[in-house]
Structure 1
Amino acid sequence: MRTPFSLKNHTAKIGLLLLGIAITSCNALKRVEDDELLLTKNTIYADGEKVTSEDAQSLIFQKPNSALLGYPLRLHLYNLAKKDPDSSYQAWLHKNDKREERLNNLLSKKQVARLGESFMVKGYSEWLKQIGEAPVIIDTSRTRKSLERLKAFYGGKGYFNANATYELDSSKRKQRAAIDYQLTLGDPFIIDSFSKKISSPAVDSIYQLNAKNSLVKRGRQFNIADFNNERERLTNIFRNTGIYGFQESSISYEILRDTTKASDDQKLDVEMSIQDLRKRDENTVTTSKYYVHRFKKVNIYADYLFDTNEDSLQSIDYNNYTIYYKGKLRYKPKALTDAIFIKKDSIYRELDRIRTYRQIANLNTFKYPNIDFIVDSTQSKIDANIYLSARPKYSLQLDTDVTHSNIQYAGLAFSSSLVTRNVFGGAETLSLSARGSVGLLSDASLSDEKYVTEIGGDINLNFPRLWLPFISTNKIIPYYMLPQTKISIGTSFQKNIGLDKNALNTIYGYNWSPTETKRHNIELINIQYVRNLNQDRFYNVYNNSFDRLNNIALDAFESDPTVSEFFEEDNLQLSIPDGTKGFTEAVLEEGRFNLSPDNFSDVRSLEERRVRLTENNLIFAGNYTFTKNNKQGITDNEFYQFRMKIESAGALLSALKNVIPFSQNDNGKNLVFGVPYSEYFKTEFDYIKHWDLARSNVIAFRSFFGLAVPYGNSDNVPFVRSYFAGGSNDNRAWNAYSLGPGTTENLNDFNEANLKLAFNLEYRFPIAGDIKGALFADAGNIWNVFDDVENPEATFNNLSSFGDIALGTGFGLRYDFTYFVFRLDTGFKTYNPAEEPAKRWFRDYNFGNAVFNIGINYPF
């Protein structure tokens, strides 16, 4: 029987109603005096056109209080604070005379005052003021300063005779006003002629070779940004064509016109001057010509300590470098010189100095180097001294963690790693790591024992170059691209976790970065071998699969009681593993029980899935990944990232099948070490874009497409190479592995497929202090395609399958700890393709069916 009103079912609505009442009851003018105006909006107009440029908006001194979806939350938080918390404390004491008398007997007045300062009222008020925002009261003196800034801004664009005024619009709401900044620009000034005056002949010669790309040219509108960019361009050219120590301040421009007088002639004459090098001593300033410098000698000090007596050092000459060392040289000379881009008899280039710093850091053997240049008396020769300070030969790291999962109530995990540097004398790095965990088993049906354990280890060897025996790769991929070779082997052993897997992984690959934004990664060999030790435990682990099979057996039992031979003795439930195995064989191989077509199809798909997830896997693959990321530092909120990955598995082995006589299993699959190797082709595209909307408001977008196609020796893609949907970094309205494939819903415990589409859109905004907020929409799904899955609800069939794309929306709270962000997101199922078509929209759009996700850092 349904009651007219259920408090339980309307809790969320009541909470939202109370929140709305609390918000609308706040008074934004609480701290605004009668003769003051609260600033609500700034608008800039240039020649009648509205200006939305962030550069122009940033010049205004006073900005309205920040708003969250149009609501000034921080202003209202500030208004909630007590104006004078000390007086509140005194009022509280007067209302409690006995308490005041008791306090006065125990404490002096000064002590009582100190106690009042620490009283909760004041602490709460100060906290509200700290996270809140004081009302922005219009100050006309600051408004006039903003006008001057705007005039200067447009003056820098050539509008020297611009006029600026402002108007206050206070007619719309009481004690509130918006400010309109009006600028009349007029005609811009144009560069009519350009001349130069260069003192140093060497600089003049270099300039002539690069003048055609000048940003300051005749006929262009005057723009101060062009002059600044041209100064930077020329400085970069001079410093990379031999002019050591070139000063950007040597370049200056002179405007040969009185721009303060109005005239119909809007033309300018510009003269560029490049002066000589200026040196400042204690009392005098001297000048000297700039010269093209060449390196006379390059010295490398290996394992250098600044208190080292250089007379005690030994030295060797190698490839036009002199290497100094003490005792015994621990590094191969070639390993040191390959990291140095400064060469004897070459001209000075700032780029070579920067590349030397980067490559030495890439060796992971030395601390940040010190490079010293000494110019001789002729002002044309340089001695370069490169001081290298070694990192510790060995370093050890230990980590521990407390864990919890659906397999274990509580667990303790540990890991340790030992790093050895300069293993073979060529700045190679060897890393040995071990990890392990032990926990209390949460489900007694999974094992007779109480504990779960996992141990593993890895060996990683990194070379700071592309290592190919007997082949030189430096001309193909130079050292300034920071090439690395990675060789790794790892293994892990699980007990009472799933099917108890033993795994072995081996990788041999290369990576390099041709620019700061681009990165290439090639894994020539990526081998993964997975062995399942307890295959009979499948139906203990995958409960959804067991429930489906057991329900089919119960349906069959109603018409054929002989099904009971597969049940446990005490109840109508298939025994594991004998009952599940016997019932499946009776249905599929013996044709017993006369099941419906749907039930027969389900038994067949369950058996196919059981075989797939319990069989051992051998993946012999290679892949290539290209990444481009133009993000400039952690504070950059206007960037994009693109990643493309291509992977092929099993192709090489299949190419050898005519040479090597592989053995085969009953299904005709080729075996390597008794295991059918996987054969598939996989490709992925991932694109991320961030837009900075100013004032820490950001829109972030991500799109992902992934497809893995099995062929040849495989009918499906291995579980470890397939895709899943849902989770804190995917569609946050569904738990991980619970979305899809297609229109199915929680078909298996871990739902996966070989085709994935995902789209994420997120609006991020500040709330108060280090507390951030987000509104998001996540769309996507997974499907089976080109494999052995025949369920039409789980497969991608045609364009109509795009209707299976699920949509989740929600909100999130984040706390910024500077070095990382703690994230809590709440997702609601907005469009659920697993429901009937008429019930897909907003069916579970409530807090009772919401999914809560905890994560570290942003999802993308």
Structure 2
Amino acid sequence: MKKIFTKITAFILIAIFICACNAVKRVPDGKNLLTKNDIIVNGKSTNDETASNQMYQKPNSNLLGFRLRLNLYNLAKLNPDSTYQAKFKNNPGKYERQSKILSAKQVDRLGQSFLYKGIHEFLKRTGEAPVIIDTSKTKKTLLRLKSYYFNNGYFNVAMNYDIDSVGYKRAKINYNITTGAVYTLDSIKQNISTPALDSLYKTNPEPPILKSGNQFKTSDFEEEKNRITTYFRNHGAYFFQPTYVTFDVDTIGKKNKADINLIIKDNSIQEKDSSRTEPFKLYKISDVNIYTDYSPARAKSQIKDSTTYKNFNLYSYDRLKYKPRAITDAIFITKGGTYADFRTTLSSRYLNNLKIFNYPSIQYEVDKRDSTAQSLIAKVYLTPRKKYSFGATLDLTHSNIQDFGIGASVSETIRNVFNRAETLEISARVNVGSSKDMANPNDNFFNVSEYGVDMKLNFPRILMPFGTEKIIPKSMIPSTSIAAGFSKQRNIGLDKENFTGGLSYLWSPKRYNSAKLDLLNAQYVRNLNPDNYFKVYTSSYDELNGIGKDYNVNADNWGDSPEEQNRKNLTIPKGTTGFTNDVINNRTALTPSDPEYKDIESIEERRIRLTENDFILATSYTFTKTTKKDLADNTFYQFKTKIESAGTLLSAISSVASLPKNSRGNYDIFNLEYSEYIKTEFDYIKHWDFGKEKVLAVRSFFGIAIPFGNSDYIPFSRSYYSGGSNDNRAWQPYALGPGSTNAVNDFNEANMKIALSGEFRFKIFGDVKGAIFADAGNIWNVLDNVTDEKAKFSSLNDFDEIALGSGFGLRYDLSFFVIRLDLGFKTYNPAHDKGDRWFKEYNFGHSVLNFGINYPF
């Protein structure tokens, strides 16, 4: 493997060298390929990203110093049509010979084929033409740079450029900039013509952007305009716009300082061919009119139904289909209140969040009934969505369990169910798939299946027997969700039936924050085929069977036929159960002090844990905070924390009611021990945007679930695993840990997890992106019934069991989602002996190729 890797590396280096020599293939004689723009400010080079963005010409893009797209372009024939025709002009007999074989028409069409033309068109589209230095564009860049530095307070900036040759047909441009002293703000005065605005300006609690002593920056002036405009428009100044804010900058008689005079003139009103000015007015709302079934075609139709509710006027062109409160709760514009932009925005968000209307339109007009002309009528136009909508999907899937799957789902959404803007979503799904890890005695390709039904009823308010407005006001856009679901799996592990139900509340304390309280979250998991355990968890069977060959004393555990007796393999489930019972009941030569005895205890403990039916009744609270404004924002952070408690309520009821305990000393419900634990998680993501589509992304995660009371372990569905396309990508899902155990089980899980990942993303060409990543982390057992010391986290020394994977990946951006391929290498593997963990399996033979949709974090 090392020899192959060396050959591949040598081949890549030779290819890069050849392509590098070919970089100036399309550069005409007497011209130069632009290799670098060097901005030299006061004698020192700068990496100012904003200054670099002023360039009219930038060097060809590169990947780790290699200009891939330029070399792809150079591989293409610029005029493949002419080249194809020239081949026959130089050899006329060749055309005649080929025409006899194919026909003249087919020979001509061959010239338009992918082999002769298409491949070159593809290379030109994918590649990048050489950037040849153009001095006219260089001079335009100088003007841009001068404007940039001038707008940042360097009023006496001087600059020039020179071109340096750096090789055959290659050159770089040096932009030499002498900034001079920077200007700062000195005195700042205001001249506001409208007294009402002058008073508002003085009462604004937000500090001004422009302050004496600050460096002069044009961007600060724009921010100050927006700050003032936002405050004025949120306090009644409906007609005020940023263009009314101007600044007079005076530098006469000043040394590197500027006096600023902020000027806001009166409102300018255009009337036919003339204009006049008058002081700005602060408006109040005289009426709020809501049109509940508006459409442009109905704009001039007659209103047929109307009502007034808490000073809101509701109108309908047909019969009013909504209870008034369902809509008025979503409107923050109030009669008699002061006009405010933020109330309009908040109302639009809330109305849109109801999911029963298309995006609402809110308009204002001056109330002609008011003689002072200081009143506005707010008009809210709502266009209902269809009451019933049907959806269907067909998907190709890949998951931790299925290598390949085909899924189909149908859904029905019913809006305004109880005439208070509720939505009911009912969906059904079915999936068939193939998995090499599942038991498959008939060797069928589609050997796993799952189907399920889900229902979700959403209320656009908090459903509580008492008022919550003081704790969670409607400005936080609260909602309540009641959900129930059922699913059934076949040939997936032990085959399962899964019943779920829940009552949850969701609200947004701030614009980019969200909170969710799962008051009740119930899950009942029923294993349909527990006898199939050792056919699924084959590593556990292999270990048990290996011990059985040496210590089994009951021939019936090997089967009935002579062939089975000779093989001495424990049958499933009769033989495995029989041998385990013989060991635990001391009917074999093994004693509790023997390592094999402890291994069998551990195997049996895990079998019981994974084959027992689970009932979980949990309450959880999740809080998420993010600074991400939209999908294009690549400089943000996101913090998410969750705390979950399960079984506490049931234990309290059982204790108060003095209910009896079972033989194990635990409480039962419906003859089933319920789970009791507390779980908490912390997840932090941070992105840095370095420009030119280079992004550094970091994620850290910590989670722990501690069983107590009625449980001494965490249910499989609530435990943690490590590895996979969104975790440590150098290991397969469930294939890392716990601790240093070398993943002794088939599906390895534990109740504590630490993960830390970093990824540097960059553009390769077009929509193809690349990434270099490193993933660290592991899972451990802590404070539960697992006895294997290698799997437990017992001291700080166990931090040396944190695994490290590294690698690289490719991404193809399809706008609405990203297709991702990541190749991970085991860099530090804690499963090996100390001193032998670094780079032991750092090769392609032990690498893991992950396929994923969208970025991992």
- The bucket for the TM-score relative to the shorter chain is over 0.9
Mark the CA change 1:716 to 1:274 in structure 2 (over 3 Å): closer, same or farther.
Answer: same
Q: 2:422 & 2:283 partners in 1: Cα distance? A: 34
Residue 77 of structure 2 aligns to a residue whose secondary structure is coil
What is the correspondence of 1:57-96 to structure 2 with a 5 Å cutoff?
Answer: 57-93=52-88
1:491 aligns with 2:486: yes
- Structure 1 CA distance, aligned partners of 2:827 and 2:437? 34
Range 578-587 or range 39-48, more displaced: 39-48
The superposition leaves residues 473-524 of structure 1 with CA deviations (integer Å, 9 ceiling, x where unpaired) of 2232122211111111111223333222122111111111122211111101
- Kindly provide the CA deviation profile for residues 370-408 of structure 1, in whole angstroms up to 9, marking residues without a partner as x: 212111344311111111111111111122335578988
Give the equivalent residue in structure 2 for 1:661.
658
Cα distance in 2 for residues equivalent to 1:818 and 1:400: 20
Q: Is the 8 A contact 1:298 1:344 kept in 2?
A: yes
Out of 20, 24, 27, the residue aligned to residue 13 of structure 2 is 20
Q: 1:345 aligns with which of 336, 339, 344?
A: 336
In structure 2, the partner of 1:272 is: 262
Q: Is residue 2:183 matched to residue 1:186?
A: no
Q: Quick check: 2:438–2:536 contact (8 Å CA) kept in 1? A: no
Alpha-carbon distance change, 409 to 375 in structure 1, aligned in 2, over 3 angstroms: closer
Give 1:566's aligned residue: 557
Partners of 2:641 and 2:437 in 1: CA distance: 41
The TM-score, its normalising length taken from structure 2, stands at 0.93
Q: Which amino acid aligns with 1:614?
A: T
CA gap of 1:445–1:50, structure 2 versus 1, over 3 A, is closer
Within the candidate set 516, 528, 532, 1:533 is matched to: 528
For the structure 1 residues 628 and 444, does the alpha-carbon distance in structure 2 shift closer, same or farther, using more than 3 Å as the test? closer
> Please, which of 102, 116, 123 is the counterpart of residue 121 of structure 1?
116
Deviating more after overlay: 331-340 vs 8-17: 8-17
- The one-letter code of the counterpart of 2:387 is K
Does structure 2 conserve the Cα–Cα contact (< 8 Å) formed by 1:406 and 1:442?
Answer: no
Query: 2:820 corresponds to which residue?
Result: 823
Looking at structure 2, the residues matched to 211 and 556 of structure 1 have their Cα atoms a distance apart, in angstroms, of 82
The equivalent position to 1:398 in structure 2, one of 375, 381, 392, is 392
Task: Please give the alpha-carbon distance, in whole angstroms, between the structure 1 residues aligned to 2:320 and 2:502.
Answer: 32
CA distance in 2, matches of 1:408, 1:700: 29
Distance 1:328 1:591 in 2: 81
Cα-Cα RMSD: 2.6
Letter of the structure 2 residue corresponding to residue 695 of structure 1? K
After TM superposition, give the deviation of residue 615 of structure 1 in Å: 0.7
> Counterpart amino acid of 2:268?
R
Mapped contact 1:418–1:432 kept (Cα < 8 A): yes
Residue of structure 2 in register with 1:519 after alignment: 514
CA 1:555/1:22 → structure 2, altered by over 3 Å: closer, same or farther? same
Aligned to 1:235: 229
Report the equivalent of 2:541: 546
Cα separation, 2, equivalents of 1:186 and 1:219: 18
Separation in 2 of the partners of 1:346 and 1:749? 65
- Please tell me whether the aligned partners of residues 438 and 491 of structure 2 are also in contact (alpha carbons under 8 angstroms): no
Distance in 2 between residues matched to 1:305 and 1:71, nearest whole Å: 57
Aligned to 1:5: none
Contact preservation (8 Å) 1:446, 1:537? no
Report the counterpart of residue 482 of structure 1 in structure 2. 477
Distance in structure 2 (CA, Å) of the matches to 1:443 and 1:231: 63
Question: 5 Å matches for 1:23-34?
Answer: 23-26=16-19, 27=21, 28-34=23-29
1:138-186 deviation digits (Å, cap 9, x = unpaired):
222222222222221121122101111223332x533322333222222
* SS of match in other structure, 1:70: coil
The Cα of 1:30 is off from its aligned counterpart by: 1.6
Q: Indicate if the aligned counterparts of 2:289 and 2:315 stay in contact, CA closer than 8 A.
A: yes
Q: Is the 8 A contact 1:698 1:764 kept in 2?
A: yes
Partner residue, 1:582:
578
Alignment of 1:276-675 (within 5 A): 276-280=266-270, 283-308=273-298, 309-377=300-368, 378-402=372-396, 412-438=406-432, 452-469=448-465, 471-556=466-551, 562-568=553-559, 569=561, 570=563, 571-594=567-590, 597-675=594-672
Note the residue ranges of structure 1 that are not aligned, 5 or more in a row: 1-7
Question: Which whole-Å CA distance do the structure 2 matches of 1:137 and 1:439 have between them?
Answer: 54
Q: Deviations over 1:588-612 (max 9, x none)?
A: 1224133672211110000000000
d(CA) in 2 for partners of 1:120, 1:96? 20
CA distance in 1, matches of 2:99, 2:453: 67
Superposed, 1:766-777 pairs within 5 Å as: 766-777=763-774
Cα deviation, 1:719-768, whole Å, max 9, x if unaligned, reads: 10000000011111110000111111231110000111111111111112
Alignment partner of 1:741 is 2:738 = yes
Aligned length: 843
Alpha-carbon distance in 2 for matches of 1:440, 1:19 = 37
**SS, match of residue 658 in structure 1:** helix
Change (3 A) 1:603 1:109: closer
Per-residue deviation, 1:279: 4.3
- SS of structure 2 residue aligned to 1:311: coil
Shift in Å at residue 119 of structure 1? Answer: 5.4
1:551 counterpart SS class? helix
* Of 758, 762, 767, the match for 1:761: 758
Structure 2 unmatched ranges of 5 or more = none
Change (3 A) 1:448 1:663: farther
The answer (yes or no) to whether the contact 1:294–1:348 under 8 Å persists in 2 is yes
Does residue 205 of structure 1 match 2:199?
Answer: yes
Deviation at residue 453 of structure 1 after TM alignment: 4.0
- Whether the 8 Å contact between 2:400 and 2:724 is mirrored in structure 1 is no
**In 2: Cα distance, 1:247 partner to 1:504 partner:** 56
- CA displacement at 1:277 relative to structure 2: 2.7
Q: Is the 8 A contact 1:491 1:505 kept in 2?
A: yes
TM-score, length of structure 1 as denominator length: 0.93
- Matched residue type, 2:824: G
Contact 1:553–1:563 (Cα < 8 Å) also in 2: no
Q: Deviations over 1:5-54 (max 9, x none)?
A: xxx77444323322221111112222223422222222223333442221
- Asked if the contact 1:639/1:689 (under 8 Å) is kept, the reply is yes
1:700 aligns with 2:697: yes
Give, in angstroms, the shift of residue 252 of structure 1.
Answer: 0.9
Identify the range of structure 1 (265-274 vs 544-553) with the bigger mean alpha-carbon deviation. 265-274
Whole-angstrom distance in 2 between the partners of 1:10 and 1:90 = 46
1:100–1:300: structure 2 CA closer, same or farther, 3 Å change rule? Answer: same
CA distance in 1, matches of 2:256, 2:558: 97
Partner of 1:169: 164
Distance 1:133 1:411 in 2: 39
Q: 1:4 aligns to what?
A: none
Q: What residue in structure 1 maps to residue 793 of structure 2?
A: 796
Aligned equivalents of 2:750, 2:438: Cα separation in 1: 30
1:544 aligned counterpart, secondary structure: helix
User: Cα 1:514–1:281, aligned 2, differ >3 Å: closer, same or farther?
Assistant: farther
Query: C-alpha displacement at 1:60, in angstroms?
Result: 2.0
Shift of 1:566: 1.0
Whole-Å separation in 2 of the counterparts to 1:386 and 1:183 = 55
Q: 1:142 aligns with which of 133, 137, 143?
A: 137
Provide Cα deviations, 1:107-166, integer angstroms capped at 9, x if missing partner.
Answer: 999997775355533322221122112222222222222222222112112210111122
Residue 3 of structure 1 corresponds to: none
